[in-house]
Amino acid sequence: MTTDSQARPSKAQLAWQDLELGMFCHFGINTFTGNEWGDGTDAPGRFNPTHFDANQWVSVAKRAGFRYLILTAKHHDGFCLWPTRTTDYSVRSSPWRDGQGDVVREVSDACQAAGIAFGLYLSPWDRHESCYPDQSAYDDFYAEQLTELLTQYGPLVEVWFDGAGSEGRAYDWERIMSLTERYQPGAMRFNMGVPTIRWVGNEDGVAPYPCWNRAASARTSMFTNDMLTWLPRTPLWVPAECDVPIRRTTWFWHPEEAYKIRPHEELLDIYYRSVGHGCNLLMNLAPDDRGLIPDADADAAIRMLDDVHARFANPVAETAGEGELLLWHAPKPATFDHAVLMEQIEEGERVRKYVLEARLGDGAWTELACGSAIGHKRIDVFPSVTADQVRLAVRESEGMPLIRSLRLYNTGAVSDAGSAINLDGTAVDNTNDAIPLAGKPGASL
Ligand code: FUL
């Protein structure tokens, strides 16, 4: 039996964790009907994105700084965005491109051309398919759909298995997992079957702190508190992904709802509490009924990540190393207000408790921040200081602490009280206890 301290990420998990930022695109028949959860009866004739341009989606992703894109190939309504052999309920029966189009192909090609990793969402729950009530027939149907997607659209970074609507329903996860492993061994498997990444447990885009990479269980659905217990083959290392729609409450595009786009300060707060807590952030930008990401959504995402980039592009100091004490000694004093810590997680997450301190002009040491998990990343925020030495003291760890990097930044965006601030001067809520959770590694969400 593997113990917590031996848990290590696979190479594919490591690469995925380094991506940090993903863009989710919910697009389908709902885009044309105003539904969030179509019941599977909407006529395929309604799907007609007359100005569809996958390159526009991908250029928004690229410009903003997202590194992967996940498309809903089939949502709960069952309508397929690729010309599947399994059902007529697809783009093939729509007027779009005279039934000759393939959304999945175009988005996949655009991502590949732009160097953005591509992933797919395939809803297990299918409200259209008549064989759905027959478990074994639907297992075959789903396996065939999945095989088409896994084999025809190049390398996938992630396959998103959504638990919504499937409460109490069993699927053939052995088969689903083995198909995924066979055809896309590098793809992350999201939250069901034998997952390699887990859902953070809410749709607000925020992780608790600490959010350990090791976990024994995770929530699978918004609609039940039942926990998924990992199957024996599930690795202990299952990093969390934080998904959130940029428009409050809706994943698909709806007319007249641009007012729901989250304000800049909320988007920044989401960044601090997802990536800043060591998780990946998957933010949904829904293309509209023209087949384009609306300017307002694109602008909000770009502004958010431009601000992040401005804060974290140029460290004033940087160091790395191993051991319980990591010291940065400056040739001349530097001023800074953020620290970004990363562990060398290929060797596991070892830190359990740390303190970050700075030596000020008078030679006295002052505590800047303290915490438990560092893992892939931890962003600490504190009132601006000018110091000639900084030390990271690891007070508790499992094995020798290995620090991939300690970077200090002078963002100029911190209030006197020590919170990160937005461009408009309001405070970013970076508190550790936003979602109260057990702080032990491996604790259930
Ligand atoms: C949920 C779904 O029910 C929503 O429609 C959306 O797809 C979200 C990402 O996951 O569980």
DSSP letters of 72-92? EEE-TT--BSS--SS-S-BGG
Q: Which atom of ligand 1 is nearest to the CA of 37?
A: 5
Radius of gyration of the chain (CA): 23
Q: Give me the residues of the chain with pLDDT under 70, please.
A: 1-5, 421-445
- Per-residue pLDDT, 433: 35
- pTM for this entry: 0.94
- Per-residue pLDDT, 331: 84
Listed in sequence order, the DSSP H helices in 135-279 are: 135-152, 173-183, 264-274
Length reported for the chain: 445
| Domains, the chain | 8-312 (3.20.20.80), 317-436 (2.60.120.260)
Listed in sequence order, the DSSP H helices in 275-429 are: 295-312
Express each pLDDT in 53-93 by its tens digit: 999 999 999 999 999 999 999 999 999 999 999 999 999 99
Ligand 1 geometric centre to CA of 301 (Å): 20
The count of other CB atoms within 10 Å of the CB of residue 434 is 16
User: Of the residues 162, 242, 243, 284, which should be mutated to test ligand 1's pocket, given the most ligand atoms within 8 Å of the CB?
Assistant: 162
Can you read off the two tokens belonging to residue 352? 């359990």
Contact 53, 292 (CB under 8 A): yes
Residues 6 or more apart whose Cβ sits within 8 Å of residue 419: 381, 427, 428, 429, 430
* Cα 185–Cα 4–Cα 351 angle in degrees, nearest 5: 105
Distance of alpha carbon 196 from alpha carbon 175, whole angstroms: 16
Q: Which atom of ligand 1 is nearest to the CA of 243?
A: 9
Ligand 1 geometric centre to CA of 163 (Å): 8
The DSSP secondary-structure symbol of 262 reads P
Can you read off the two tokens belonging to residue 318? 């940087």
- Per-residue pLDDT, 354: 98
Express each pLDDT in 218-245 by its tens digit: 888 888 777 777 777 777 899 999 999 9
